[in-house]
Amino acid sequence: MKLFDSFRSGTYRFALLLVVYTVGLSATWWLAHLLRFDFNIPSPHREEILPNLLWALPVKLVLLFLAGQFSGLLSFFSLPDLRRLAFAMVVSSVAVLVVGRFAGNPYVVPRGVVLIDFVLSLSTLGLIRVGFRLLRERYLSPQSRPQRRMRRVGIIGAGSAGASLARELLTKRGLGLSPVAFFDDDRKKWRSRVHDIPVVGPPESLLNPKLNLELEKAIIAMPSATAKRVGDVVKILQQAHLSFETVPALDQLATGQVRVSQLRQIEIQDLLGRDPVKLDTDNIREILHGKIVMVTGAGGSIGSELCRQIVSFHPQRLLLVEQSEVQIFIIEQELIQAGHGSIILPLVADVLDQPRMSYIFERFRPGVIFHAAAHKHVPMMESQPGEAIKNNVLGTAQVAELAVTHRADRFVLVSTDKAINPTSVMGATKRLAEIFIQALHAQNGGVTKLMAVRFGNVLGSSGSVIPIFNKQIAAGGPVKVTHPDVTRYFMTIPEAVGLVLQSAAQGEGGEIFVLDMGKPVKIVDLARQLIELSGLRPDEDIEIEFIGLRPGEKLFEELSHSAENVTPTNHPKIMRFVCKPSSLPQVRAQFQELNSSLHSAEPVQLKLALKKCVPEYQPYLT
């Protein structure tokens, strides 16, 4: 039935266009003769108009068909369609001249008539197709019918993103937004018009009391603007008492993931000044394409983003290893909906379960392993260090040894900047995992390339301060900050994961890669920005309360410790740290000692035992 409906729809479209094109081309043929002879066509010429039309018209229709002008949807017409239409008209005009001169016709069509006919035909058919499109966009589409009162909107940014947004809002009146003014920093655009909408001036114009536009909302359409400028614009809009949203990020628009009209709230990452990361995708593709890839902790913030980015490189199979069935189900469904269901395999498994993990390695033979499974909550692990040691140290060691045993190509440990001169159990266990990875790589002779990648806090992760602060703001405060001077490095999750993949691609084994995390951010400043983004005033509407550093926390995160040599890599945002690996038998002996006391020793004793393994660790013992 659907096939019949499709055929019937295509036949109807073809018939309608055939009639429209025939009438239009016939009319332009007659009009071209009238214009050429100033509406007084001599008798010999007048008698040959119809005979010549009878052979010229089929030529034009055939060329229009070959140019795809009968197969396109009636109400969709764009620049590529116009180019094909112009090509068909040019070729048909040349054909008319050639046939008229060399086919022995008694009457040759004057060149002036052919030229005028070309201009009229192209204009007429183009206007007809544009008319169908306008009919759909303005009158027939459900989105063209306002469902509610139209709200007056100002668009910040008169570039390509702003122009595209205005066009969509004008077309999709069902969104209920009517663009009435543009604001842009470029002086050359002031007092001009975009889609017949005036460019009033810079965003600062919104604070001019004489500007009476009666705006109800503003949309920031500056996806390539600096974070500082976006922050300035946000403050202007807040002072002007305007609600505001922004268009999607530039990378999303470029890849076609979203449309410019899919507005979102300004988020804190828009204001932190992270430059877009350029990846060498060819190198990443080389290690992932056609390979069997495993991600442990696949349901977590980092693990799930690893899965999203890995599938774009078309591995043969992606193994999603996760202990939580709820989390693994969520990422599995997301990847299935994105069209990757045929290459993913969710596997509920605990990295500490040796028989289960051995089966997975023997059955599927993963070639590249990204180990993201870990306990990461700093204060929670301080009170139960045994769990951190089990998961972060012994679990990592078990998966890494299985990778070596089964001769995997690469093993990548997702580590943390808290492993540098650690003061927390979480950081110390991650550092000990790094020590083991380096020792194991040195022992196995490089058959399996084992490496670690460190980075700082990621925005949007389940343990990030951002969702915590947002909940506190929603509750009316106070926003609780540990210390007025505490600073942290922040990255977005996609940025961090992209650089993890880049590190994995260029690693030769034994390295610890550290990502360029930009400038450190004061947590109190972050809290103030979040309060302001909520339309409230720090210290007036929402109080900021300092509660003191929690056990294991630092004021400042560090980039390296004294035993590590820092060297650059081929990527400007990745550094390589190299240090002398420890003896693998010695590290294993330390693991056995730790394992023997995991469930019998007190937390303080476990921390002291951990310090023997990681000398630079400064434990919190009270």
Cα separations (Å) of 425 from 318, 455, 486, 577? 32, 17, 19, 22
Structure tokens at 513: 């890669």
Polymer length of the chain: 622
On whether the CB atoms of residues 226 and 164 are closer than 8 A, the answer is no
Residue with tokens 């500056």: 222
For residue 333, report the phi and psi dihedrals to the nearest 5 degrees.
Answer: -65, -35
Long-range CB pairs of 62-65, under 8 A, 24+ apart, other chains included? 63/88, 63/89, 63/91, 63/92, 63/95, 64/21, 64/88, 64/92
DSSP-assigned beta bridge partners for residue 544: 479
Structure letter (DSSP) for residue 320: E
On whether the CB atoms of residues 284 and 260 are closer than 8 A, the answer is no
Contact residues for 232 (Cβ-Cβ < 8 A; gap 6+): 203
Closest CA to 526 of 311, 270, 163, 327: 270
Closest CA to 370 of 517, 491, 504: 504
Structure letter (DSSP) for residue 109: P
- The amino acid at residue 458 is V
Long-range CB pairs of 226-229, under 8 A, 24+ apart, other chains included? 226/273, 227/270, 227/271, 227/272, 227/273, 227/274, 228/273, 229/185
Residue 449 annotated as catalytic: no
Selecting among 376, 418, 430, 573, the annotated active-site residue is 418
Q: What is the CA radius of gyration of the chain?
A: 33
Structure tokens at 417: 């900047």
Cα separations (Å) of 174 from 139, 141, 146, 149, 247? 11, 9, 4, 10, 18
**How many whole angstroms separate alpha carbon 185 and alpha carbon 507?**
44
Cα separations (Å) of 374 from 115, 310, 383, 389, 423? 74, 20, 16, 10, 18
Structure letter (DSSP) for residue 274: P
Q: Which residues are catalytic?
A: 418
